Structure 1
Amino acid sequence: MNFNWKSGLTVADAMANIQSRFEAADLAYGHGMFCAADEAAHLIAHVVTGAPTVTDEMMALEIASAQRQRLQTLVEERINSRRPAAYLTGEAWFAGVRFEIDDRVIVPRSPIAELLAEGFSPWIDRQSVSSVLDLCAGSGCIAMVAAMVFESATVDAAELSADALDLAAENRNRLGLADRVQLIQSDLFSELVGKKYDLIISNPPYVPAQREMPAEYGHEPSLALYAGDDGLDLAWPILVGAIDHLTAGGWLVLEVGESVDALMRQLPDLPAMWMELEGGAEGVMMISREELLGCEQRLRELSATVAC
């Protein structure tokens, strides 16, 4: 389906037509946007105003010639390359904060953003949090927002990929958080010996290795996506490591996404709170250090099977 990028084109015109083209192209979503309309709105807003998405007030705006050309280029590239929109625009929004993004990291999309923006209230008193760890930090989005939410806390961002840490440093410096967020290259907790935190937040890889993914996901670093046959190769060591690295009364927030069923089959008595999130997202738990201690033996057994 061809679209006439004519003069006089309004945001509303572009929304309708780009959405139609994306639907006809059978694109896959899930990189912070859930459907063709979301992605059309993101691209238009990026070009026209720099906002995260289109608002009702923007619908009547006429798109200037240079903007039409830029938007046309983005739309054609999105359809032809199947690259996620965030890689084309170079930006993604997480908890209302703009992050620079490229293919050194996966596109930020964790539903943890919803909980983090509220300081994990009512379960956590944000004034009592003095230390936070973002484990498997990627672009650093969780660490940066945590530094904004927990204003008195020191924040560490631990990540295995040196390339991802380079991008995280760019985001940290652009957001003026160089004195608040420490970046650490670490394979999970390996370089964090002796460190303890009031709050550990982790969105690790959790896609089962054999799962066939849409082409869009093939543009993301596989290191940040896949985690063994059942998607839990990192979750078990994180749950065990949290016992050693949380302070008394500390909390772990862990996302395991679609691997939640596999986790609960292997450890049905895990006393975690599974969070109810907007949009039906699932697989995010909150669990205290004391609750982890109650099933420590079984957790260490499961973690040992990964090591083997």
Structure 2
Amino acid sequence: MAKTGYGKRHAGDEPPYAEADFAHLAPREAELAAFIDELPTGAAMGHKVIAAEHPRYGQQAVRTSMGRLTEAGHLRWIKEHLTVEDNSMRWVTRTYWSRLRRSEEWWAEFVRARHGRDVTHDHQPGLARADEAEPDLDPDPDPEPPPEPEGAAEEPSVAHRTLAQLRAADRRLALSEGDCAALEPLAVEWLARGATPAELTHALTAGLPPTVTNPGGLARSRLESKMPPKPPAKHRPAARARVTRAVFVCGLCEEPETAVPLVNGLCAECRAGCGLDEPGPPPGCVPATFLPASRQTLQAEGPVDVTERVEELRRAAGLRPRRGGA
């Protein structure tokens, strides 16, 4: 799977898969098209990743086939400029897949319709520039206390007072000032995780043995072993983001259409690498060398002595003639 917000995306609503969907493709492209069609939304669509998962084809074969699927109208790569409500912005490249064979006009309209789309849930947190600090996940941070006047005595924390008052709850757990100072960080963590001073006191004093020889050690053991779990993080609602610009990019090298001309989603260099512009027979055409000779040609050449022909081939290969041969 790709990172959140990336990977395979469906270009639109389509009917269920049918065997005839990829009948117009060559066998290898049809097989890879069926493989890609089965991938879930969000799956990584790089040719290296697909080649690593496909049992039959390597990276170069997959790359070439993905170029031909782009040429056929099943794949497009679109670069979208996103603007978030906090005025941060970013370019992202999306991969769109269509089971149906789409025309250039259809894809052009698809890109035009991307402008202004709300994509709030289609990007990762921290969409803004990489040098910005991570957003604060707590929507209601505790305000910082005002600075105390110089010379004022520092008040003990709630955690420290709770530890000091254990002797009033149970004399067997009377802690010294040193014990309270050493155990204060653990007690602070208890309170930070949602425990109240009363719950902290109960956890430390319930079920004490008849005699406690080391109150500080017993209190530390209980604070560590009974520590409550961390509360779930509170997340800010996602900032609203919209597509403010969208352009096609080459499906294999990601050059934008503003930098190089694209034909059916590919630049000229990548088209040449996939053999799309090379002259050749139309799809489904059988080369003449694989066709049987016509009846007129056979009649002009006359009948062929098969036995004599075999012996000629054996002599040309340096083999001894068969028994009875010339």
Q: When the two structures are superposed, what TM-score results if normalisation uses the length of structure 2?
A: 0.22
Q: When the two structures are superposed, what TM-score results if normalisation uses the length of structure 1?
A: 0.23
Asked which structure has the greater CA Rg, the reply is 2
> As a proportion of its length, which structure holds more strand?
1
